[in-house]
Structure 1
Amino acid sequence: MLEIRQLRYVQAVAEELHFGRAAARLHIAQPALSRQIQKIEQQTGAALFVRTQRKVELTAAGALMLERSRSILRELEQLEQDVRRAGKGELGRLTIGFIHSSTYGLLPRTLQRFRDLYPDVELELREMSIADQATALARDHIDVGLTRPARYAPGIETLSIMEEGFVVAVPAYHLLASSASTPLARLSNEPFILFPRASSPLFNASILRMCEAAGFTPQAIQTATQVHTVVGLVSAGMGVAIVPVTAKNMQVSGVAFLRIQEDPPPVSVVLAWRTSREMPSLRAFRAIALTVGEEFMAEQAITRLRR
């Protein structure tokens, strides 16, 4: 089998059509180059060059060898560059699971920044619930999940990238709609739209806990898993709801958002991934998501100070 260095020998002689210049270009002695070309011709069973005292010419076999050698050497150079870039996280494919609420701020900014820095990494996005992401990670169906804290299988690591507070959502015609904030106790007699315990255990538990701390149990008249569905039901006048603060970015008409005076504990947005799937593109995505999450928390802090 021919070696890469032999292809370079043939290419140099074929392009220079002069053994002396080709040898100088390759930084080897001319007799050594002549012996190498003879060896290649013996190896292939075909004359590659017609040599006379005045000139060197390519045979048909030599012209074919030059064409194929150029193609192979270009491919090898590209392979070396691609492997180097893949090692830096600049190439490859990343499959990302995400919760719907992340699409109202965190995910778009993270994706835009990642694409700007790593345009040749192919991203596959899958909207999934928290439970579905946990299953997909365990089965290697996604590389990373933008999700919430949950019970994950062994070998899955999580990183909190953002703490997200809660606000009260009320219909625009509600008596509280003109208020900037409210104590939760004022909602004790209101019909509530809640996140279901089965599919949204974190939100369900957090909201019940904060209401119980305010002295009441919310009267649930409807449940909905997705934040945008909950806000839509509030807009329709079905009841009030406690939702993550990113719901304000949905710009749903007919809804007013109020700060909760008790300032209940926030919930985390986390990245989750299998440690066995660690790769440069994942590390890059993780670093960018962490930076974006810190930016959002800083913006939220500034907003609270202004109030």
Structure 2
Amino acid sequence: MIDLRQLRYFQAVAEELHFGRAAARLAIAQPALSRQIQQIEEELGTPLLRRTQRRVELLPAGALLLERSRAIQQELARTLNDVRRTGAGELGRLSLGFIHSATYGLLPSIIGRFRQLYPGIELELHEMPITVQHTALLRGTIDVGLLRVQHAPAELEVLTILSDPFVLALPAAHPLADRRLVRLRSVADDPFVMFAEQSAPLLSDRVQAMCRQAGFTPDVVQHATQIHTVVGLVGAGLGVAVVPASGRNLHPRQVRFVQIADKAEPVHVALAWRRGHETPAIRSFRKVTQDVVAGLDEA
């Protein structure tokens, strides 16, 4: 079986058309090089070179082997380079699950930076609720998830990257809309647009707990699943709402966002992947995400 070393020997002779120069180029003895070429010809069962005392000529079979040998060497070099780049997290494929609210500002910034720095990684995007991401990560359907922190299976590694505090979303005409800071109790008598418990349990539970801590039960007139839907309904005048501050990135014209004076734990945004399965591509994505978040903190 002819190996890559022998192909390299033949290529040197075929390009130099001189055994002495080829041997010097390869830093081996000329007799040893001659024996290697003879072994190749014996293996193939056909002569590759016409040898005379003055010159070496390529036969048609030799010309074909030289062409294919160059292609093999080039493909091998590309393969080795691709392997190195894959190992360095610069090449490959990455399947990302993300929550809808990440599209309000964070995700576009991450994707833009990632594609700029790692054009060799094919990025697949899948919008998924948090619990669906958990299942997809465990099954290997996605490689990494961008989600909010809530109870996750022990098989998942969860890295918090960002805190998202709650703010009060008010219709632009609301009497408190121009305030910088209000207590949640101030809107106890207002109708509320609330996150649906079944489809958005994390946000629903947090907002309900904040209202209880403030001493009232909200008068819920409408439920919704996504932050943009809740904010849109507030803008339509249906009521007030407590939403993560990332909702400000929607820039709704008929809604004002006011800081809440009550102490409340924010929701956290995180990256998640299967424990023990952080590939080089995931590490590259994590690094880009952390750099983007650090830039948001500095802005």
TM-score normalised per structure 1: 0.94
* 1:5 pairs with 2:5: yes
**Cα shift readout 1:185-230 (whole Å, capped 9, x = no counterpart):** 1110111111112221211111111111111111111111111111
* 1:35 pairs with 2:45: no
Partner SS for 2:253: coil
Deviation for aligned residue 1:92: 0.6
* 1:143 pairs with 2:109: no
Deviation for aligned residue 1:34: 0.6
Deviation for aligned residue 1:294: 3.6
Identical aligned residues as a percent: 54
Q: Tell me the residue number matched to 1:304.
A: none
Partner SS for 2:247: helix
Amino acid at match of 1:5: R
Partner SS for 2:281: helix
**Cα shift readout 1:256-290 (whole Å, capped 9, x = no counterpart):** 11111224221110111102432111012112222
Deviation for aligned residue 1:157: 1.1
Moved more, 65-74 or 151-160: 151-160
Contact 1:161 1:294 (C-alpha < 8 Å) held by counterparts = no
Q: Tell me the residue number matched to 1:84.
A: 84
Amino acid at match of 2:185: A
Between Structure 1 and Structure 2, how many residues are aligned? Answer: 299
Deviation for aligned residue 1:175: 1.6
CA distance in 2, matches of 1:256, 1:151: 32
Deviation for aligned residue 1:177: 1.7
Deviation for aligned residue 1:298: 4.7
CA distance in 2, matches of 1:154, 1:23: 61
TM-score normalised per structure 2: 0.96
Partner SS for 1:124: strand
CA distance in 2, matches of 1:71, 1:298: 50
CA distance in 2, matches of 1:298, 1:220: 37
Partner SS for 1:277: coil
Deviation for aligned residue 1:130: 1.0
Q: Tell me the residue number matched to 1:215.
A: 215
CA distance in 2, matches of 1:46, 1:111: 55
Amino acid at match of 1:221: V
| Aligned 1:46-125 pairs, distance under 5 A | 46-125=46-125
The change in CA–CA distance for 1:174 and 1:101 in structure 2 (over 3 A counts) is same
Amino acid at match of 2:272: A
CA distance in 2, matches of 1:21, 1:219: 91
Partner SS for 2:113: helix
Q: Tell me the residue number matched to 2:238.
A: 238
**Cα shift readout 1:4-31 (whole Å, capped 9, x = no counterpart):** 0011011111111111111111111111
CA distance in 1, matches of 2:297, 2:9: 60
Amino acid at match of 2:111: L
CA distance in 1, matches of 2:150, 2:60: 67
Unpaired segments ≥5 residues, structure 1: 300-307
Deviation for aligned residue 1:115: 1.8
Moved more, 173-182 or 210-219: 173-182
The change in CA–CA distance for 1:202 and 1:298 in structure 2 (over 3 A counts) is farther
CA distance in 2, matches of 1:255, 1:91: 43
CA distance in 2, matches of 1:155, 1:290: 22
Partner SS for 2:50: strand
Moved more, 160-169 or 104-113: 104-113
Unpaired segments ≥5 residues, structure 2: none
Partner SS for 2:206: helix
